[in-house]
Amino acid sequence: MAYRSGDMALTFLCENIPVIGPRFKNREEAVKKARQYLDGISKTAGGQRVTPVIIEIKRQDDGRYSIILEGFQHSMGKLFNIDELFLKRFSKGLKRKMFILTCFVEKVDELECLVLTEGLGAVLYAPYTINKWRP
């Protein structure tokens, strides 16, 4: 099951590893964007343990949370209206200090995750993301 809001989606692989990224209605567009991300990550990272993509967690005025994905000097998208239980599950997944960046394709009654169907995704090291959020 995937959580979706705004222009982003979030799901888990093996119940623990967060998979996050933008969602698209057009499959070709999603594949193209996922490949651009992979190219950009390989150019930016250059073998270093520096992540070109950052996940930021912010508390909303209504008590719920937003997850903002930033990379390549701009915002990649935002998930909003996340309750504390879902955020705790997400944070538990980030304790391994990594997440997978991919794209999702909206289909009728389902969401296709390109890391599963096309193998298009990047495992990113996120050592400080979990430290930013406190309930």
Say how far apart CA 63 and CA 82 lie, in whole Å: 9
CA distances to 76, 87, 110 from 133, rounded to whole Å, are 19, 9, 30
30-74, pLDDT tens digit by residue? 999 999 888 877 776 555 555 567 788 888 999 999 888 887 667
Range of the domain at 69: 3-132
The answer to whether the beta carbons of residues 57 and 133 sit under 8 Å apart is yes
Say how far apart CA 12 and CA 2 lie, in whole Å: 8
Tell me how many domains the chain contains.
1
What one-character DSSP code corresponds to residue 131? G
Q: Is the pTM of this model over 0.85?
A: no
88-102, pLDDT tens digit by residue? 888 888 877 788 889
